[in-house]
Amino acid sequence: MKTVILTMTNPPELYLEGQNITPDAFAGKTAAEIAAIDVWEGKLKSPLGKYFTVEGNGGATAADTKIILRGDCSRLKRVGQQMTAGEIVIEGDADMYIGGWMKGGKIHVKGNVDSFCGLAMEGGELIIDGNAGHHLGSSPRGEWRGMQGGVIRVAGSVGNDTATFMNGGTIIIGGDADIHVSTHAEGGTVIIKGNAKGRVGGQMVKGNIYVFGKIENPLPGFQHIGEVEEEVDGTKARFIHYIGDLGERHPVSRGKPVYGNIYTRV
């Protein structure tokens, strides 16, 4: 695998749109050609080399290309957007939309990210060592398709509206989650190792939510049906099982309705 190192030497005054910073865009290019790739700062289009020094050439394919971002990337958005393969490492914080519409490959952020990361993600792996903002793994505004596949793992806590309209994939949260988890979900799994503030699974049709801590203000549309013992992300534990949201229409499989599931650790 060939490695391209981007070091931020001229931080943008506004926010920088980095949707062209992907293994797909860098594959087959020399360092000079990568430095000439367009990025946007507000209404101004400039070459990537205006902001970053570029070391190394891209691999022959996206799968053979790794990108390392160094320096202050806290004003850099959309890195890894729609990427299909390869690897990106951000050695610090990053802004919004990291890994949005991602289809494959791996992104590792060694800091915090802002909102809308993993938006409508279809595949691949997004790892965040710090905290994430709002709308993690959710649908774009006005859309009903959220996360379809892949894995998002956040070591810290997340903001509100995680996994809205989630259809597939897995989100693992090491800390706490703010309000509105898996609203309108029609599939997928969310694992919260800490506490959830409330409004978990609202209008959920299908999918699974595991909460190792407590849910503040549980919704009345979920019915307690018993207890189960399961292994979740490497931890074997006993959970209280709820089904719902009972106020929604649910699909029928083999003559029985399919419900969303919430599991809270005993």
Report the C-alpha gap between 47 and 44 in whole angstroms.
10
Report the C-alpha gap between 25 and 18 in whole angstroms.
11
CA distances (Å), 238 to each of 114, 211, 262, in order?
Answer: 33, 11, 13
pLDDT in tens, 30-51: 999 999 999 999 999 999 999 9
Report the C-alpha gap between 152 and 113 in whole angstroms.
12
**Of 99, 195, 94, 110, whose CA–CA distance to 138 is shortest?**
99
Cis peptide before 245 (omega within 30 of 0): yes
pLDDT in tens, 61-118: 999 999 999 999 999 999 999 999 999 999 999 999 999 999 999 999 999 999 999 9
Q: Which residue has the tokens 């894995």?
A: 151
Helix or strand or coil: residue 35? helix
Give the residue-averaged pLDDT of 201-219.
97
The token pair at 31 is 């360092």
Contact present, 70 and 48 (Cβ < 8 Å): no
Instruction: Report the pLDDT value the prediction gives residue 249, as an integer from 0 to 100.
Output: 87
Helices and strands in the chain: count of H runs, count of E runs: 2, 19
pLDDT in tens, 146-172: 999 999 999 999 999 999 999 999 999
Contact present, 17 and 94 (Cβ < 8 Å): no
Q: What residue ranges do the domains of the chain occupy?
A: 115-265
Report the C-alpha gap between 133 and 112 in whole angstroms.
8
Report the C-alpha gap between 254 and 115 in whole angstroms.
39
Q: What is the mean pLDDT of the chain?
A: 97
- HSE of 132 in the Cβ direction (CA atoms, 13 Å)? 36
Instruction: Report the pLDDT value the prediction gives residue 113, as an integer from 0 to 100.
Output: 98
pLDDT in tens, 108-142: 999 999 999 999 999 999 999 999 999 999 999 88
Residue 246 pLDDT > 90, yes or no? yes
Report the C-alpha gap between 215 and 212 in whole angstroms.
9
**Of 213, 203, 224, 77, whose CA–CA distance to 157 is shortest?**
213
Q: Report the relative pairing of strands 38-41 and 16-17 from DSSP bridges.
A: antiparallel
The token pair at 202 is 């609202």
pTM for the full predicted model: 0.97
The token pair at 177 is 């989650």
DSSP state of 15: -
The rounded percent of the chain whose pLDDT value lies above 70 is 100
Neighbours of 78 (CB within 10 A): 27
Report the C-alpha gap between 177 and 132 in whole angstroms.
10
Report the C-alpha gap between 88 and 60 in whole angstroms.
16
